[in-house]
Structure formats: C-alpha cells, structure tokens
Amino acid sequence: MKLAEKKSSRRMANVPKKEKEEVVVDEKPRETTVEFLASLAGVLVTGLFIITFVLQAFEIPSSSMEDTLLIGDHVFVNREQFAPATRWMGPLMPYRDIRRGDIVVFLSPEEQGLFVVKRIMGVPGDRIHLRDGVVHRNGEKLVEPYVQHKLADYNPYRDNFPAVPPSEMYGVRNEKWQQELPSHLEGGDIVVPPDSYFAMGDNRDVSYDSRYWGFIPRKNVIGRPMFVYWSFITPADQYQMRSAGDRLGFVAHIIIHFFDETRWSRTLRIVR
C-alpha cells in the first residue's frame, strides 16, 4: 500500500461510526439509462399533449391585423380557453366566454379550410354601426388606440356600415351575405344574433371582415393568440405561393437570412 493510501485509511479510521454512516447516506444514486429515458418520455408526452390539445401554432399571412400582428408573425394559439368546459379539466383550465376586444383565430365562414384572425367587436345582442370609419356599439362611440387607417381613403360601405347597401361595387363578393344582411338591421344598427360574433381587423381600411362576409359562428372559433414566438420578414403575397418550388425557395431564403430578417424585437410579444 502506498503512503497516500495509508494516510487516507488512518483518517477514515479516526472518523466516528455515526459520521461514516452519514457520508454513505448522503451519497445520491446515479440515474440509470432506463430512468433517464422514462423521464424524457414523460416530458415528450406532456409536450405532445399541450401542442395537440392546448396550443397550436399559426402564421399570420395578411396585413389585416397590423400593427397588432404583422405578416410573418408566428403565434401560439390557446385552443382550450374558449372551448366548452369539461368536467374533468374544468378546475384546471381557465375557460371563459368570448369577450368584446378579444383577438380570435377561427375557421372562415366563407372559405372552407381557411384560418382567419380578427378582433371581436360584437357579441350576441350587441348593436353596431360605423360612421366615418368609427365604430359605435350599443350607442357608444368606441376609442380604439390599436386601429390603423393606412389607406386614408373613403369607402361609403366600409366606413358607414351598414347604412350603405352591400354590393360588388364596394367589394362585397359574398352574395349570401348581401341577401342576409337586411334581416339583421334594426334602426340603423346591425344586431349580432345568438351564438355568433361580429369581428373586424385592426387595419380597418384593408381588412376583409364581418362587414363583407357576415358573422362568425361560435362553433368556428379555434382559440386566442397568446404570444409571438417568432417573426420573420415575409412578402405580402407569400401565402399565395403554393407551388413546391416557391415553398422550397422561401425555406432556403429563411435559412440564409434567418438572423438578419428575423424581427427579434417581436419575440415573445404578448398579443393584445
């Protein structure tokens, strides 16, 4: 036995029995490979559950919600908040009704399979009209600091809704809405029917919204955007590029310009 080993043995021999036992007890057992894989599997299952049933990722394709949401913003949407409350998840999830001012993602009532994002302006029973581009709800003129008027032009139907009858002249392409709209008018206001919502974009001059295609059925609502997890400078017509070549070309562009064209200041921005 070497000298260093002898000294170590003498020191341990002088340690009281109780202290020796404490040293052994304080040692933590190393995690086995099986235990590590089990922990990892638990994390993956939890993450998969959240992504599948609670959160869903969406990309903003148009400018109708500027400057609240920009083209190229990628957001996580809470799918559970506006869902019907369930008995077993009720105490755990913050379920609530849709409110005025909420930003929601929903399935377009006009174009099948299209996801749209707008701001809720009217809930069932609300009476709404616009005068010179300003929204009046239940007789009250609204102050909306988030609203943009970037075109600064005048459209009688758009800016004085619903006083001017809808027609293709003013961009109303939905014939069903042209026929249905008069049945919802009372005293110069449009009245939101049960289980429906009236929604508009924050970029009012370019937003194609409830003024043009009607109400959002409650069943079409997907959820509420929570925050921007990534934002990349994207051309306004990118969502129309559907060929494989166009898509691959833009993916290559993202890879090359990821750092210089990512809007870093919008990362984790809360959507309000």
The pLDDT assigned to 2 comes to 45
pLDDT of 109 over the 70 cut = yes
Pick the range with the lowest mean pLDDT from 22-36, 204-218, 234-248: 22-36
Q: What is the 3-state secondary structure (H, E, C) of 105-132?
A: EEECCCCCCCEEEEEEEECCCCEEEEEC
- For the stretch 113-166, pLDDT in tens is 889 999 999 999 999 999 999 999 999 999 999 999 999 899 999 999 999 999
Cβ atoms of 200 and 137 within 8 Å: the answer is: no
- Domain annotation for the chain: domains and CATH numbers: 53-246+264-270 (2.10.109.10)
The pLDDT assigned to 89 comes to 53
Please give the mean pLDDT across all residues of the chain. Answer: 85
Q: Residue 169 to residues 157, 158, 165, 182, 206: CA-CA distances in angstroms? A: 9, 11, 10, 18, 15
- For the stretch 49-102, pLDDT in tens is 455 556 889 999 999 999 999 999 999 999 888 876 665 555 556 678 999 999
Q: Judge if pTM exceeds 0.75.
A: yes
Segment 28-56 mean pLDDT: 61
The pLDDT assigned to 53 comes to 54
Among candidate residues 95, 72, 29, 3, the one with its CA nearest the CA of residue 263: 72
Cis previous bond, 217, omega within 30: no
pLDDT of 232 over the 90 cut = yes
pLDDT of 187 over the 80 cut = yes
Place of tokens 């559950």: 49
